[in-house]
């Protein structure tokens, strides 16, 4: 895992992100001298308060990376989704919101000069991969945790960002989906299987391994020289 920032201090703030005709809430974690920033896309039925994603985000910040955990739905949409599941599999809608968040990051004073990565979980991984395909100028690395990249299959050949797919060793159906998706990606790519882990990585030590793998991947691809993003 990358060396933790000396004198590490964490500052997390509530931010509001306008995307199209809605405004989404997020938690922006910034640290001094960040190596890059990682935008999180949570899975179906989850939110920016997901304890698994929050754990991974804390490890990334300790490794020198800023983080943005965001809600992909408004509070009103979440109420509808809980009753109907109307939005959680609308992957293109979720992807547009990830793209909107990535574009917001480029214009925010403390993050505008940072290289950007996306961390997607479950269905959020598909949204992150679509975003990477649509904005290759902005998204420089992707990590998927227990993801459903198959839901972004038509976009995968256009993904240019180095992509790490992490799957639990006991999650056999999702392993197959990720193996098939990996073949479609035309970029640096790795499928990493965590032994003994189920879909939610609830077994002792497995989520820590996810965080370690993600921190290494993002440090490798976001820790290069900072770039000025295209307008």
pLDDT tens readout for residues 13-45: 999 999 989 999 999 999 888 989 999 998 766
The whole-number pLDDT of residue 10 equals 52
For residue 67, give the nearest of 162, 134, 163, 143 by alpha carbon. Answer: 143
3-state secondary structure of 25: strand
Instruction: With cut-offs at 50, 70 and 90, classify the pLDDT of residue 46.
Output: low
Say yes or no to pLDDT of 78 above 60. yes
Closest CA to 152 of 98, 203, 204: 98
Report, as an integer, the average pLDDT of 9-14.
72
Q: Are 41 and 72 in contact (CB under 8 A)?
A: yes
pLDDT score for 80: 84
State yes or no: pLDDT of 7 exceeds 80. no
* Predicted confidence (pLDDT) at residue 101 exceeds the cutoff of 90: yes
Q: What is the pTM of this model?
A: 0.89
Q: What percent of the chain stands above pLDDT 90? A: 74
In contact, 31 and 64? CB cutoff 8 Å: yes
Beta strand pairing call for 22-30 and 139-145: unpaired
- Contact of 179 with 26, CB cutoff 8 Å: no
Contacts of 94 (CB under 8 A, 6+ apart): 41, 72, 87, 123, 124, 126, 127
Query: Which of 49-53, 84-88, 139-143 holds the top average pLDDT?
Result: 139-143
Top-confidence residue, 108 or 228 = 108
Burial of residue 136 (CB within 10 Å: 0-12, 13-18, 19+) is: middle
- Mean pLDDT estimate for the chain: 89
Q: Compute, in degrees rounded to 10, the torsion defined by CA atoms 43, 50, 67, 145.
A: -40
- Which domains does the chain possess? 11-222 (3.40.50.1820)
* pLDDT value for 44: 65
* Residue percentage of the chain with pLDDT more than 70: 90
Statement: residue 226 has pLDDT above 80: no
Q: What is the pLDDT of residues 174-216, one digit of tens each?
A: 999 999 999 999 999 999 999 999 998 999 999 999 999 999 9
The rounded radius of gyration (Å) of the Cα atoms in the chain is 16
* pLDDT greater than 50 at residue 156: yes
* Cα–Cα separations (whole angstroms), residue 52 to 43, 56, 156, 190, 208: 11, 6, 25, 22, 10
- 193 HSE (CA, 13 A, CB side): 14
């Amino acid at each position: 895992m990358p060396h933790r920032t000396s004198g590490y201090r964490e500052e997390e703030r509530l931010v509001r992100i306008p995307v199209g005709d809605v405004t989404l809430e997020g938690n922006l974690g910034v640290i001094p001298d960040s190596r890059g920033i990682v935008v999180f896309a949570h899975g179906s039925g989850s939110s920016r308060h997901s304890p698994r994603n929050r754990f991974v985000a804390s490890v990334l910040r300790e490794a020198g990376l800023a983080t943005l955990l965001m809600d992909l739905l408004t509070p009103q949409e979440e109420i509808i989704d809980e009753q109907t599941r109307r939005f959680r599999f609308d992957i293109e809608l979720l992807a547009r919101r990830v793209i909107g968040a990535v574009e917001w990051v480029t214009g925010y004073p403390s993050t505008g000069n940072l290289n950007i990565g996306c961390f997607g979980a479950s269905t959020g991984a598909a949204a992150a991969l679509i975003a990477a395909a649509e904005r290759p100028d902005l998204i420089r690395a992707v990590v998927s945790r227990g993801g459903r990249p198959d839901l972004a299959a038509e976009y995968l050949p256009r993904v240019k960002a180095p992509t790490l797919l992490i799957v639990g060793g006991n999650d056999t159906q999702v392993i197959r989906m990720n193996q098939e998706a990996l073949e479609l990606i035309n970029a640096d790519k790795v499928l990493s299987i965590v032994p003994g882990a189920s879909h939610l990585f609830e077994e002792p030590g497995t989520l820590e391994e996810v965080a370690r793998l993600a921190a290494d991947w993002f440090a490798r691809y976001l820790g290069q020289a900072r770039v000025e993003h295209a307008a």
